[in-house]
C-alpha cells in the first residue's frame, strides 16, 4: 500500500517561502512512496532510501529525546490514603506490615510497619476503614511490587473538609504551619487597623 505522510503547515510561514518548502516536501514524498506492481507486489522507486530523514527539510522533522538524568525530585513522596491488613494471614509479612492504599491512584500502594499503625489496628481494623492517614514513601526495592513507607499521622475521617484539605496540602508539599513571630511582627499591632485618610486619598477606591 502507498505510504501516506501528513504534515501540518503554518499559514504565517507562507510569506517566507512556505510554498517552496511544501513543493520540496511533496517531491520527497513521491520519491519515498512505494508503488504496487501489476501482480500486487510492492516495488521501490530508484530514488533515495525510504529511511533517510535527510531528504526532508528540518522544519518537518519531529524532534525526539530521552531522559538521561533526574536533576530534582519534585514530588513530596507523601500521600493520603487508608490502611488495611494484608490478605494472606499466613505469611510472615502479615505479622510485620499493613497495606497503605493511596487515594491518588498514580501513587503506588505501600507497605507500612504495624508499629506505625494504631495499637488496636490489628484487632479492630474495621474501626479505621474510613480514617485518612498520611504516608511517606521512603524506599522501593527493585524486587518488590510495592513501595515501603512510614505513616506520618492520622488526619481524621474521610469526607470531612479539614482532613481532606490537610491531606492535599501535604501531598503537594505546601507549608501550612502557623506563621512565626517574626512574620506576625510585620503586621499592624494596634487592632482594629484602619487605612489612614491620607492613604485613602492617594488610592482609587474599588470597594
Question: Which residue reads 500502594 in cell numbers?
Answer: 109
Domain count, the chain: 1
Please tell me the predicted confidence (pLDDT) of residue 3.
Answer: 55
- Asked if residue 115 is part of any domain, the answer here is yes
- Predicted confidence at residue 59, as pLDDT, reads 82
Cα torsion 49, 50, 53, 59: sign: positive
- Can you read off the three cell numbers belonging to residue 162? 479539614
Do the domain assignments include residue 150?
Answer: yes
Q: Is 46 a domain residue?
A: no
* Nearest one of 131, 126, 127, 124 to 103, comparing CA atoms: 131
For the chain, the residue count is 207
In this prediction the pTM is 0.56
d(CA 33, CA 29): 6
Evaluate whether residue 152 is within a structural domain: yes
Structural domain range at position 150: 78-172
Grid cell locating 109: 500502594
Residue 102 lies in a domain: yes
Q: Domain with 156 in it: what CATH number?
A: 2.40.50.700
Q: Which of 81, 79, 82 is nearest to 129 (CA)?
A: 82
Which residues are 44's β-sheet partners? 34
User: Distance between CA 8 and CA 85 in Å, rounded?
Assistant: 54
Q: Is residue 22 part of a domain?
A: no
Bridge partners of 100, per DSSP, are: 83, 110
Instruction: Please state, in angstroms and as integers, the Cα–Cα distance from residue 205 to each residue in 129, 197, 202, following that order.
Output: 53, 12, 9
Grid cell at residue 134: 498520611
Which runs of E-coded beta strand occur in the chain?
34-36, 42-44, 78-84, 97-102, 110-113, 131-139, 147-157
Tens of pLDDT along the chain (207 residues) come to 455 555 554 555 445 555 666 676 667 666 665 444 444 455 555 444 446 777 888 888 888 899 999 898 788 899 999 999 998 888 888 989 999 999 998 899 999 999 999 999 999 999 999 999 999 999 999 888 999 999 998 998 998 999 999 999 998 888 888 999 999 999 888 888 888 899 999 999 898
Task: Please report whether residue 122 resides in a domain.
Answer: yes
The reply to whether 50 falls in a domain is no
Amino acid at each position: 500500500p502507498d505510504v501516506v505522510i501528513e504534515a501540518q503547515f503554518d499559514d504565517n510561514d507562507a510569506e517566507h517561502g512556505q510554498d517552496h518548502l511544501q513543493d520540496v516536501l511533496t517531491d520527497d514524498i513521491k520519491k519515498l512512496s512505494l508503488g504496487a506492481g501489476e501482480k500486487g507486489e510492492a516495488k521501490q522507486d530508484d530514488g533515495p532510501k525510504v529511511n533517510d530523514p535527510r531528504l526532508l527539510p528540518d522544519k518537518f522533522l519531529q524532534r525526539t529525546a530521552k531522559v538521561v538524568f533526574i536533576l530534582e525530585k519534585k514530588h513530596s513522596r507523601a500521600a493520603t490514603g487508608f490502611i488495611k491488613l494484608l490478605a494472606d494471614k499466613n505469611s510472615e509479612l502479615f505479622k510485620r506490615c499493613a497495606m497503605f492504599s493511596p487515594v491518588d491512584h498514580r501513587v503506588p500502594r505501600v507497605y507500612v510497619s504495624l508499629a506505625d499503625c494504631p495499637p488496636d489496628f490489628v484487632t479492630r481494623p474495621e474501626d479505621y476503614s474510613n480514617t485518612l492517614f498520611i504516608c511517606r514513601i521512603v524506599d522501593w526495592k527493585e524486587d518488590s511490587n510495592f513501595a515501603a513507607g512510614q505513616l506520618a499521622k492520622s488526619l481524621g475521617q474521610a469526607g470531612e473538609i479539614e482532613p481532606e484539605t490537610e491531606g492535599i496540602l501535604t501531598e503537594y508539599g505546601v507549608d501550612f504551619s502557623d506563621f512565626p513571630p517574626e512574620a506576625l511582627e510585620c503586621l499592624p499591632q494596634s487592632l482594629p487597623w484602619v487605612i489612614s485618610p491620607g492613604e485613602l486619598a492617594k488610592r482609587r477606591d474599588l470597594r
